[in-house]
Amino acid sequence: MKNLILLVLLTLSVCASDVKWFDSYAKALKTAKNANKPMLLFMNKPGCGSCAYMKENVFTDAAVVEYLNSNYVAVSLDIHTNDAPEELQVNVTPVFHFLNSDGSKSIETLVGGKTAPFFLKLLKKASSSH
């Protein structure tokens, strides 16, 4: 019985450590408007080393995950196949657009991979200007 409880707790902690990503800009925008939350738009592509770094090291950091899931609508889109507006399209990756709930930019776009503490500060800055 103890093993079963431990397994359930471990499973819950692993599931709780994931950013809840949308894979559609349109759906994320609708959710952001309804929840009056800012959006983080992560533009990435397969084979991008910095994108992989962000996914493996920053978007698994407990503080980043908790802050993103509580305060943002997060959307992750491949730069080659996505439904983002033309003004948010990019040719390099990773790119992070910090958007208000209406889709307008809240702070300047960020290009390139960053550390978890640096990224968390940006998330807090962008959400405070929402």
**Residue 99 is part of a domain; what is its CATH number?**
3.40.30.10
Q: Quick check: 80 and 45 in contact, CB under 8 A?
A: yes
- Within a domain: residue 2? no
In a domain, 10, yes or no: no
Is 6 among the domain residues?
no
Write down the residue that tokens 């790119």 correspond to.
Answer: 95
Is 26 within the bounds of a domain?
yes
pLDDT of residue 125: 93
- Kindly give the confidence (pLDDT) of every residue in the chain, 130 residues in length, as a single tens digit, with 9 standing for 90 and above: 555 454 444 444 444 569 999 999 999 999 999 999 999 999 999 999 999 999 999 999 999 999 999 999 999 999 999 999 999 999 999 999 999 999 999 999 999 999 999 999 999 999 887 6
Structural domain contains residue 24 = yes
Q: Is residue 31 part of a domain?
A: yes
Q: Is residue 67 part of a domain?
A: yes
**Count of the separate structural domains present in the chain:** 1
pLDDT computed for residue 82 by the predictor: 97
Range of the domain at 70: 19-128
- φ, ψ dihedrals at 129, nearest 5°: -90, 0
In terms of Cα–Cα distance, which of 61, 72, 74 is closest to 114? Answer: 61
